[in-house]
Structure formats: structure tokens, C-alpha cells
A and B are shown apart, each in its own frame.
Chain A
Amino acid sequence: DTEVTQTPKHLVMGMTNKKSLKCEQHMGHRAMYWYKQKAKKPPELMFVYSYEKLSINESVPSRFSPECPNSSLLNLHLHALQPEDSALYLCASSQEVRSVYGYTFGSGTRLTVV
């Protein structure tokens, strides 16, 4: 299994809603990442998890709350988002943090905040 699976693929939520994005990988990777990508821009790093512990938070607003229940799963909990948070949210994994290897990205969740 060489995939990173993200659900849902599309999500529309109101500014008062609470929702969660899910990411799963079964490649034995110990590093997992959340990225945000706006149209015609490169991906921007949000969070890094290494061995299920949060190691990097790129000054992301608290309305985004990551969680890593186990080595295969990564969640991103969303609450009180703003319309400008609408974007493609990408999960990625790699063998481990501080390796030379690249990241494998999931197919992403297209989020629209209304």
C-alpha cells in the first residue's frame, strides 16, 4: 500500500460548524504533515507530526486543531473557520522526520467555508 488516503474529498461548512478532516497511511511512515494550498500557490506547511507527537506548528490559528491518534492516522479538527480558510488541504507522509526522502501526498480535501 503506497497511498495516503484523505476523507472527505470535498467539504462545505458554515462558519459556526465543527468538522474534521481525516488522513490515513499504511506505509509505516512515522512522519505526517498537514499542508494548505490556495489556488495557483504552492503548498504551505501547517503541522508536522513525528512518531505521533506534534513537532512543528507553523503558527497556525487555533481554529485548526491537529490530532494523531496513532501512527497511521492524522486528523485536522476545524472550528469557527473563516471564508479565507477555503483551500485544498493536503495530508502527506514520509518515512520519518529528518530523512532525505520526499513526501507522499494524499488526494486532498477541497474545503469551502460559507
Chain B
Amino acid sequence: QKEVEQNSGPLSVPEGAIASLNCTYSDRGSQSFFWYRQYSGKSPELIMSIYSNGDKEDGRFTAQLNKASQYVSLLIRDSQPSDSATYLCAVKRVSGGNEKLTFGTGTRLTIIP
């Protein structure tokens, strides 16, 4: 089982619709959860962080965390063509003297005009 799993896509969503991206993780000790957006040929950009169960909204983005189900999701409302990118889920665990940030393989999202 991969530590962080995402559907690789591609996920195609019409412009103006809601894009839903999902991520599951295996380490129950994980404490911090992130969504990064990466445009082709560019570096990852942190767009959402979530640390506790529930929803966190920032503009058109909503992150959802369910630690019992080991599930993180990202909703993008009113999708725009500029949202077309690969979205990386990342999970962080801090224990003892170490930390570990583990990335999923990413979901490629295409917004269709």
C-alpha cells in the first residue's frame, strides 16, 4: 500500500463546475495535510494546509480532512481554465527528532472551457 494515494487522472471538469480531488494516507500518526498545485514545468505551490478534522475554506478552495477515514480532499468551486494543473497531496508526520513529508503521485486536473 502506498503511503499517500491519489487518483492520477486525468480528471476533466467543465469550466464553472466543482472539481473534487481525493487523497488517502496510510500513516495514522500523520499530523499535517497539504495540497500543492503544480503547473507543467513549474515548482509546487502550497495552496491549502489543514491540521484538524473538518473543512477549511480559502476563496474557491475547500480542504476536507477525516482522520478516522484517513482521507483528505480538495474541492475547487467555479473551476477556471487556470486551475488546470497537477495537484499533489502531501502528508506530514513529526515524531521524535524527525519529520517526514510524503507526497502522493498527484492528480492531473483539466478544466474544459
- A interface residues with partner B (beta carbon < 8 Å): 41-43, 45, 56, 88, 90, 97-108, 110
Count of B interface residues, CB-CB < 8 Å: 24
Per a CB cutoff under 8 Å, which of B44, B90, B97 touches A98?
B97
Q: Does B94 contact A (CB under 8 A)?
A: yes
Q: Is the interface of A mostly helix, strand, loop or mixed?
A: loop
27 A-B pairs with CB atoms under 8 Å apart are A41-B105, A42-B88, A42-B103, A42-B105, A42-B106, A43-B44, A43-B103, A45-B101, A56-B98, A90-B43, A90-B44, A97-B99, A98-B94, A98-B99, A99-B94, A101-B32, A102-B32, A102-B90, A102-B92, A102-B101, A103-B101, A105-B36, A105-B43, A105-B45, A106-B43, A107-B42, A108-B43
Q: Cβ of A88: which chain B residues have Cβ within 8 Å of it? A: 41, 43
Nearest chain A CB to B5 CB, angstrom units? 12
Q: Does B34 contact A (CB under 8 A)?
A: yes
Per a CB cutoff under 8 Å, which of B36, B42, B92 touches A100?
B92
